[in-house]
Structure 1
Amino acid sequence: MKFFLHPQAQEELEQTVLFYKKQQAGLEKRFIEAAEDAINRACRNPLLYRKIDDDVRKCRLLHFPYAIIFRPRSAQVEIIAIMHLRKQPNYWQSRK
């Protein structure tokens, strides 16, 4: 299944990559790999992940305090947010 990245989710991804790049050499690459893995898992089996709102689900990244917030659609997975798990948990709801 294909995916669509909401423009604000794309921005969150880019900002997080820059943050990890400043923290430690190579850490941004590990974050990108973890994000790609979570997106792939959500695309392979979107209904496996816990509902957090009407039709919105959450897939956690491995080894990082982030989750992919997404909505399964018939032809694709719509990624609404790349959310830090310890900050403003419902900020993404205006994107629905």
Structure 2
Amino acid sequence: MRVVVTSDARHELREATRWYSARSPATGRQFIEAYRRARDLAAQAPTQWLEVEPGVRRVLLERFPYTLFYAVHGGQVVVLAIAHQKRRPRSWSDQG
């Protein structure tokens, strides 16, 4: 299934990648790979993952305290957020 990433999610991904890369370039690369695996899992089996509220599902990133939140719209997986698990994600209705 095609994946679309919202501008807010792209921003969150950039910020988290920057943070990890500043500590270690290798860790930054590992974070991106963990994101890609989570994104691909959502695309391959979009209804398999936990629905956290109506229409919004999540996939946990391996080895990192981040969650990929997504919705399925019009045959596409729409990545809504890449959020740290210790922080409360913004309202889904505010993202897009």
* Shorter-chain TM-score tier: over 0.9
Give 3-state SS (helix, strand or coil) of 1:48's partner: coil
Offset at residue 75 of structure 1 (A): 1.8
1:19-76 C-alpha deviation (Å, 9 max, x unpaired): 0011123100000000000000000001110111110001000000001100012321
Q: Percent of aligned pairs with the same residue?
A: 24
Counterpart in 2 of 1:62? 62
Supply the AA of the counterpart residue of 2:67. A
Counterpart in 2 of 1:36? 36
TM-score w.r.t. length of structure 2: 0.93
Matches within 5 A, 1:47-86: 47-86=47-86
**Structure 2 residue ranges without an equivalent (≥5):** none
1:14 aligns with 2:14: yes
TM-score w.r.t. length of structure 1: 0.93
Give 3-state SS (helix, strand or coil) of 1:87's partner: coil
Q: What stretches of structure 1 move > 6 A for 4+ residues in a row? A: none
**Structure 1 residue ranges without an equivalent (≥5):** none
1:5-32 C-alpha deviation (Å, 9 max, x unpaired): 0001001001111000111231000000
Kept in 2, the 8 Å contact 1:6–1:78? The answer is yes
CA distance in 1, matches of 2:20, 2:54: 32
CA distance in 2, matches of 1:20, 1:92: 25
CA distance in 2, matches of 1:70, 1:84: 15
